[in-house]
Amino acid sequence: MVKRIGGIRRKTRYRLRKEKRGKGKISITNYFQPFNMGDRVYLSVESAVQKGMYHPRFMGKSGIVKGKRGKCYEIFINDFGKEKKLIVHPVHLKKA
């Protein structure tokens, strides 16, 4: 079998880059923001926090909160007609 080169962060130099105004400490309210079941959310990566980060192919998509797993939330998104479940930390989510 062929050995794959790279992983989840491959070719993401510009995708995971922060804007100049976004650099610095992460706000605690953003880190611990609560969501209710059925809320619509946008996926936006906080590149300073690797825990609970989803695959970069889902960047910019929107989904619905269906449940909670520990500190993270289960987000269901529609990916080209298929419903997919992502487990995402709240720091990577924004309310729609």
**The CATH number of the domain where 64 resides is what?**
2.30.30.70
What percent of the chain shows pLDDT beyond 90? 80
pTM over 0.85: yes
**What total number of domains does the chain contain?**
1
Question: Is residue 15 domain-resident?
Answer: no
Q: How many CB atoms are located within 10 Å of the residue 60 CB?
A: 10
Question: Is residue 27 domain-resident?
Answer: yes
Domain extent for 53: 20-95
How would residue 17 be classed by pLDDT, with cut points 50, 70 and 90? very high
How would residue 7 be classed by pLDDT, with cut points 50, 70 and 90? confident
Pairing label, strands 72-79, 62-69: antiparallel
Question: Is residue 5 domain-resident?
Answer: no
